[in-house]
A and B are shown apart, each in its own frame.
Chain A
Amino acid sequence: KAGVTQTPRYLIKTRGQQVTLSCSPISGHRSVSWYQQTPGQGLQFLFEYFSETQRNKGNFPGRFSGRQFSNSRSEMNVSTLELGDSALYLCASSLLPGTSGRAMPDTQYFGPGTRLTVL
């Protein structure tokens, strides 16, 4: 079956603009997580959605937001872009979220990511 798809794959924006990234999970998967990956900070958790509800959120400013639709597709939005937002944004889907929140989400399948460059 098809894997996780992310669109667009590459994006160039300027400071102050906003951006919306899209993620389509594997068919049947209801949990979608978003991560930011940079050379300096590594892979950092942004948020997790399950059944259209945000279940968990990382330590990112409110400029980073997301949502999930009834078909499990998810979008994340970054407003007022800063140079430091340049990163690879990864989406991961899983059948279920982490058990009681103490574990990593159930087997996560990552998409190829969206490479965002902020000039």
Chain B
Amino acid sequence: EMQLVESGGGLVQPGGSLRLSCAVSGFNFNNYWMSWVRQAPGKGLEWVADINEDGSEKYYVDSVKGRFTISRDNAKNSLYLQMNSLRAEDTAVYYCATDGDWRWGQGTLVTVSS
């Protein structure tokens, strides 16, 4: 069974950093583009970042460019999102998902507040 499990969320002050992880199992991770999508409390879905199968291509929504970095470790079947210079408007549940057939994890909550 395909599983995606996010971790690393929490409360952080404005300007701080967090690193999210997504551990995957039940499918060949190496064959998938992967995405991060976020959902602010009570709001809709927003695509955040993409990475291709070998990590050589990365794409970001404009609002996070220069602050967030997506990466992956295929040997560990893991996807990451390094988030720096966090702002209040980054507060959201962050989901990892397989790009293409769009399987989702359960999400991890990031709260940016002083």
Q: Say whether A and B bind each other.
A: no
